[in-house]
Amino acid sequence: MTLSEGIPGKKYEVIAVNVNEKVGRRLEALGLIHGTKAEVLNKKRNGTLIFKARGTRLAIGREISEGITVKEAATSWNSR
């Protein structure tokens, strides 16, 4: 599943990031890599997705969120 399909309030683990190279490098610099835990905070009708990863809130568009493959995370991790 992709991050764009995520449900607000649920926690996910990043499996892969498949976006263009420039965006991929930027997400990597922000710490969004394989294994990163992310919690979907809000989804807007226009496709904007707000999520929390590594203690930071990030907002991304639909095209980017559709390129981030995730799986549901175990419930035992805490977000900071």
Question: In CATH, what number is assigned to the domain containing residue 25?
Answer: 2.30.30.90
Statement: residue 14 has pLDDT above 70: yes
Residue 65's pLDDT is 95
- What's the pLDDT at 73? 87
Query: Where residue 76 falls among pLDDT bands split at 50, 70, 90?
Result: low
Domain count, the chain: 1
Residue 23 domain flag: yes
State the burial class of residue 74 (Cβ atoms within 10 Å of its Cβ: 0-12, 13-18, 19+).
Answer: exposed
**Signed CA dihedral, 55, 6, 18, 59: sign only:** negative
In a domain, 26, yes or no: yes
Q: Which domain holds residue 12?
A: 3-72
Is there a domain that residue 79 lies in?
A: no
pTM: 0.86
Flag whether 78 is in a domain. no
